[in-house]
Amino acid sequence: MRPVVRGLRLLGAVVLGTFTALVGLLFVLVTLPFPGRPRVRAAARRLAVLETRRLGLDLTPRGGSETRYLAARAPVGVLGGLVVFLLGCGVATAAALAWSWGRGLPFDGMMPTPPLVAYICLGGIVLLFLDLSGLAGVDALERRLAVRMLAPDPTEALRRRITELTESRAGALAAVDSERRRIERDLHDGVQQRLVALSMLAGRARRGRTELLEQLHEQAQQALTELREVAWRVYPSALDSLGLSEALAGVAERAAVPVKVVCELPGRLPSTVETAAYFVVSEAVTNADKHSGAGLVTVEVHGYGTMVVVRVRDDGVGGADATGDGLSGLAGRVAALDGRLTVSSPYGGPTVIMAELPCG
């Protein structure tokens, strides 16, 4: 079934490519006297982008190459049209032959005999194979032509890659610094103040105030709880011992808002990917708890080939700021792994935070 679906998709792509090739050729001919005008170049770029999407390619056309590409692919589109035309003629002939012989009528003065049927079947199979090969060849030729004429040259691609790595490295360093500052605030404003109060209570208890021992014990327990929370935010030990699914279950248990976790992964992920996915969920749940007024947070983690997609959705009021310290730090952490973080949070909600992490 799948080969049939792929074949139909290929046929549809080549048929559509024939029409778009003619449209592109017409555009080139009409705009030939005005090659440098901004509107002409913008229209050529849009047509080229549509072609790359039709082919399923993720290309950003180079400036000035779009019009040449539209002109160059016209012969390829005509070739694809001829292949489709021959395929259609073959299918129509086979249908007419089956219709005539099925009703006991001669086809082109011929009645079916075993040698004739065998000859026609063999010829039809060979022609069908050639047509299908032609469709695949036209599709491959179109892809190669698009990559050749629209993809950035290797030097430009390398320069762009260096820029991306430099930005992601700076973002990762900024995320680390932001996390360190947050840990310092947690220790200073929470645990440190709690320990100072604990020390004062201990001093008063030593002077004979035995009724303070219960309060001293309670303060000690609260200090231990806060220390555990800080340790979990630094790095959750459950990631190493139990894996991402159990670590996310721990996030759900500690959250003040109801959290539903669906984690469907084929196995353990690289540690860097698990860590990034954990912190995406942890930060998103924390933001939902503090700012969104959500009644439910849904966490979904799925694997798609060599990618892991983490999606966190809350039903709160929306309006999350993607440029804030928390989310921008997450974006830097994800970008350091060549991943992508997207935030959708219209006013009125819902807020959806999605991270795409490569793990191959």
Give mean pLDDT, residues 45-72.
Answer: 83
Verify that 85 and 28 share a domain, yes or no.
yes
Out of 37-41, 104-108, 236-240, 284-288, pick the least confident: 236-240
Q: Output the pLDDT for position 38.
A: 83
Q: What percent of the chain stands above pLDDT 90?
A: 14
Verify that 31 and 77 share a domain, yes or no.
yes
Q: What angle do CA 321, 326, 328 make, to 5 degrees?
A: 70
Residue 270: pLDDT band by 50, 70, 90 thresholds?
A: confident
**Does the pLDDT at position 203 exceed 80?**
no
Q: How many domains does the chain have?
A: 3
301 strand-pairing partners? 263, 310
Question: Omega before 350 cis (within 30°)?
Answer: yes
* Distance, CA of 85 to CA of 226 (rounded, Å): 73
Q: Exposed/middle/buried for 292, CB within 10 Å: 0-12, 13-18, 19+?
A: buried
Residue 31: pLDDT band by 50, 70, 90 thresholds?
A: confident
* Distance, CA of 105 to CA of 67 (rounded, Å): 54
Verify that 187 and 204 share a domain, yes or no.
yes
Asked which of 180, 201, 234 is the last residue of a domain, the reply is 234
**Inter-CA distances, 332 with 6, 43, 164, 212, Å:** 38, 35, 11, 47
Q: Which amino acid is present at 252?
A: A
Verify that 192 and 266 share a domain, yes or no.
no
* Distance, CA of 77 to CA of 16 (rounded, Å): 9
Verify that 297 and 262 share a domain, yes or no.
yes
Query: b vs e for 156-194, b when ≥16 Cβ sit within 10 Å of the residue's Cβ?
Result: eeeeeeeeeeeebeebbebbeebbeeeeeebeeebbeeb
Asked which of 234, 267, 294 is the last residue of a domain, the reply is 234
Q: Which amino acid is present at 200?
A: M
Verify that 26 and 108 share a domain, yes or no.
yes
Q: pLDDT tens digit string along 223-254?
A: 666 666 655 555 666 677 778 888 888 888 88
* Distance, CA of 257 to CA of 297 (rounded, Å): 7
Q: Which domain holds residue 126?
A: 2-151
Verify that 27 and 58 share a domain, yes or no.
yes
Write the CB contacts of 158 (distance below 8 Å, at least 6 apart in sequence): none
Give mean pLDDT, residues 55-79.
Answer: 83
Residue 198: pLDDT band by 50, 70, 90 thresholds?
A: low
CB 297 within 8 A of CB 258: yes
Asked which of 99, 117, 151 is the last residue of a domain, the reply is 151
* Distance, CA of 19 to CA of 38 (rounded, Å): 25
Verify that 118 and 6 share a domain, yes or no.
yes
CATH classification at residue 270: 3.30.565.10
Verify that 26 and 113 share a domain, yes or no.
yes
Residue 298: pLDDT band by 50, 70, 90 thresholds?
A: very high
Verify that 163 and 67 share a domain, yes or no.
no
Verify that 126 and 220 share a domain, yes or no.
no
- CB-side exposure of 313: number of CA atoms within 13 Å? 9
Verify that 93 and 211 share a domain, yes or no.
no
* Distance, CA of 179 to CA of 164 (rounded, Å): 22
Q: Output the pLDDT for position 244.
A: 86
Q: pLDDT tens digit string along 165-196?
A: 666 666 665 666 566 566 656 666 666 666 66
